[in-house]
């Protein structure tokens, strides 16, 4: 018995030294994984003489649920706009002292002063992505399918040709938005009649879809098992890089539907119980510098609201209309708004029926 206890202690002793010695100045960043370039972090750590401790989430809702239950200890969060709205209304954020953000002037004004945070009292734009169509160019050409309209994922006459080879996002908000856009309504339309129309469209297309998937669809697209996806622009961009690295015979391209799409702007916000709001503000200002902001775009192909960053972004990314859309397309992009509790419940009921095969 004693030997076993010694062994347990020894194992713990082996495991624990892997724990780093904590620096006195810690900045806790709660962020999406791979949503900041490692060089950027290093440079910030040098400039602020602090340590950046990152923890990750992979869904806005996970972040919201954890904070709603009372979790503390995070300095900065990076939620998407509708989540920012929820956080502001739920009084979870600390107001920003804009006098400490001289670099705020670098941001494109059309992304400032949003309806959910007028005057940018709490949030500052960080990076963007759109939810669009991703496709295997060889297969789409072979099958003669259009790639610039939501019809290709909703209309049976097109779906027949890709049956079982197409996935859509496993997100009620995203899929409803796509269906509403396809029907010609706003993505934020809350009319129940329009929702029922969207449900009908979805149910008609469902038999042809391989899956509702938000996690493993990208790799299936990249290796050619899936030919068409409803997905996020960053992921599709990365998929193409991976496909080229694997020397595949096809490209993975982004298709911006002409009916419009959802724009997701991720913002930097400070939690109300942040232990180091001063470091958070430093980080915000740091990330508002053009060069620092550009590094993420160059890494993952994310959209960038920072005008100064344009100087540092790779030209091929700048030319990509799905990442840097022209004015005409920009007009059709919409950010998702928060729903009321009753609307969320209705949407979930409809979504449950859709996913149960009813």
Partner 1 sequence: MSSATARKSARLGRWLVSGPPVLYLVVFFAVPTLIMVLASFRTPGEFGGLAPLVEDGKLDLNLESYARFFSEAIYAEIFLKSVWYALATTFFCLALAYPLAALIARSPKRYRDLLLLLVILPFWSNFLIRIYAWMIILGPNAALARTVNGILGGFGHEPVPLLFSSFAVLVCLVYVSLPFMVLPLYANLEKHDQALLDAAQDLGANAWQRFWRITFPLSLPGVFAGSALVFIPALGIFAIPDILGGPEDSLIGNVIKQQFLETRDWPFGSVLSIVLTVAALAIAGFAAWVARRNLGTPSSAREASA
Partner 2 sequence: MRGKRRIALWIAAGAGYAFLYVPLIIVIVYSFNNSRLNAEWVGFTLNWYDTLFHDQDMIFAAGNSLAIALTASLVSTVLGTAAGVAMYRYPTKLLSVLVLAPIAIPEILMGVSLLIFFVLLNFTLGLVSVALAHIAFCIGFVAIVVRARLAGMDESLTEAARDCGASPWQTFRYITLPLIMPGVIAGALMAFTLSIDDFVITFFTAGAGTVTLPLQIYSMIKIAVTPEVNAVSSLLMLLTLALIIIASRVSPTLLRSQEDLS
Which of partner 2, partner 1, none does 246 bind, CB closer than 5 to 8 A by kind? partner 2
**Residue 315 or 357: which CB sits closer to partner 1?**
357
Residue 163, token pair as written in the block = 């049956």
d(CA 174, CA 165): 20
**Residue 238 or 320: which CB sits closer to partner 2?**
238
Which of partner 2, partner 1, none does 86 bind, CB closer than 5 to 8 A by kind? partner 1
Q: Are 106 and 302 in contact (CB under 8 A)?
A: no
Cβ-count burial 8-19 (b if 16+ within 10 Å, e if not): eeeeeeeeeeee
d(CA 6, CA 245): 49
Which positions ≥6 away from 98 have C-beta within 8 Å? 104, 120
Beta-strand (E) ranges in 226-339? 228-232, 252-255, 262-270, 334-335
3-class state of residue 277 by DSSP: helix
d(CA 279, CA 290): 19
**Residue 90 or 102: which CB sits closer to partner 1?**
90
Each residue 128-167 as x (binds partner 2 by CB under 8 A) or -, in order, gives: ----------------------------------------
Which listed residue (53, 138, 143, 151) binds partner 2 by CB under 8 A? 53
Does residue number 11 form part of the binding site for partner 2 (CB under 8 A)?
Answer: yes
Interacting stretch for partner 2, rule CB under 8 A, among 13-21, 84-92, 159-167, 183-191?
13-21
Span 300-339, contacts to partner 2 by CB under 8 A:
300
Q: Which of 305, 293, 292, 297 is nearest to 335 (CA)?
A: 305
Does residue number 21 form part of the binding site for partner 2 (CB under 8 A)?
Answer: no
**Residue 152 or 263: which CB sits closer to partner 2?**
263
Does residue number 91 form part of the binding site for partner 2 (CB under 8 A)?
Answer: no
Interface with partner 2 (CB under 8 A): 1, 3-4, 7-8, 11-12, 15-20, 26, 28, 30, 32-34, 53-58, 62, 65-66, 69-74, 214-216, 218-220, 222-223, 225, 232, 235, 238, 242, 245-247, 300
């Amino acid at each position: 018995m004693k030997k076993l206890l010694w062994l347990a202690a020894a194992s713990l002793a082996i495991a624990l030294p892997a724990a780093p010695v904590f620096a006195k100045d810690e900045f806790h960043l709660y962020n999406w994984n791979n949503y900041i370039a490692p060089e950027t972090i290093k440079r910030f750590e040098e400039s602020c003489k602090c340590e950046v401790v990152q923890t990750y989430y992979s869904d806005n809702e996970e972040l919201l649920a954890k904070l709603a239950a009372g979790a503390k200890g995070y300095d900065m969060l990076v939620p998407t706009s509708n989540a920012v709205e929820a956080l502001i209304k739920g009084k979870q954020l600390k107001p920003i002292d804009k006098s400490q953000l001289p670099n705020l002037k670098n941001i494109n004004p059309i992304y400032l002063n949003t309806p959910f945070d007028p005057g940018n009292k709490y949030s500052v734009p960080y990076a963007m992505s759109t939810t669009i169509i991703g496709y295997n160019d060889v297969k789409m050409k072979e099958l003669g399918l259009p790639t610039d309209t939501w019809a290709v994922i909703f209309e049976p006459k097109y779906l027949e040709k890709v049956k079982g080879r197409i996935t859509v996002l496993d997100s009620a908000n995203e899929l409803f938005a796509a269906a509403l856009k396809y029907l010609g309504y706003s993505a934020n339309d809350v009319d129940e009649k329009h929702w029922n129309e969207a449900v009908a469209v979805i149910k008609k297309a469902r038999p042809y879809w391989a899956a509702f998937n938000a996690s493993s669809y990208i790799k299936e697209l990249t290796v050619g098992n899936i030919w068409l996806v409803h997905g996020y622009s960053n992921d599709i961009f990365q998929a193409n890089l991976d496909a080229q690295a694997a020397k595949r015979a096809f490209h993975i391209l982004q298709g911006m539907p002409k009916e419009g799409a959802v724009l997701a702007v991720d913002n930097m916000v400070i939690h109300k119980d942040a232990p180091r709001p001063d470091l958070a503000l430093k980080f915000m200002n740091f990330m508002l510098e053009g060069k620092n902001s550009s590094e993420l775009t160059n890494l993952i192909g994310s959209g960038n609201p920072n005008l100064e960053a344009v100087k540092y972004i790779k030209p091929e990314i700048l030319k990509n209309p799905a990442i840097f859309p022209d004015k005409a397309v920009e007009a059709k992009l919409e950010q998702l708004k928060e729903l009321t509790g009753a609307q969320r419940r209705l949407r979930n009921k409809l979504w449950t029926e859709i996913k149960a095969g009813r």
